[in-house]
Amino acid sequence: MSDLPNLPNDQPLSDAAAGFAKEQLKSFIERIERLEEEKKTIADDIKDVFAEAKGTGFDTKALREILKIRKQDADQRAEHEAIVDLYLQALGMVG
């Protein structure tokens, strides 16, 4: 069974179509590989920034939590904080 796009199994490919599909596939693979490498480079850069922050005395767990919170919209954040406060009160951890 062929995994080439939009072609029924009983329709033979012309040499030109097969060549085009092969080049298109190769292009997709190469683009993904480049993006994966960029992603690794960016991840390494982020790791370096966290190390730098830690070296100057910042708590990286707190920084990660702040980043997580900043991704949420205001309503989500308020709802989450209300639930956490409710749970803390139920456990007697806040007054």
- The model's pLDDT over 56-90, given as tens digits with 9 standing for 90+, comes to 999 999 999 999 999 999 999 999 999 999 999 99
Report yes or no on 4 lying in a domain.
no
**Are both 54 and 20 inside the same structural domain?**
yes
- Domain shared by 50 and 65, yes or no: no
- The answer to whether position 1 is within a domain reads no
- Asked if 49 and 63 sit in the same domain, the reply is no
Domain count, the chain: 2
Question: What pLDDT band is residue 16 in, cutting at 50, 70 and 90?
Answer: confident
Q: What is the CA radius of gyration of the chain?
A: 25
Polymer length in residues for the chain: 95
Q: Are residues 54 and 28 in the same domain?
A: yes
Identify the band that residue 45 occupies on the pLDDT scale cut at 50, 70 and 90.
very high
The domain in which residue 40 lies consists of 13-58
In which residue are the tokens 């690794």 written?
Answer: 40
- In this structure, the answer to whether residues 27 and 50 fall within a common structural domain is yes
Give the Cα separation of 22 and 4 in Å (integer).
Answer: 9
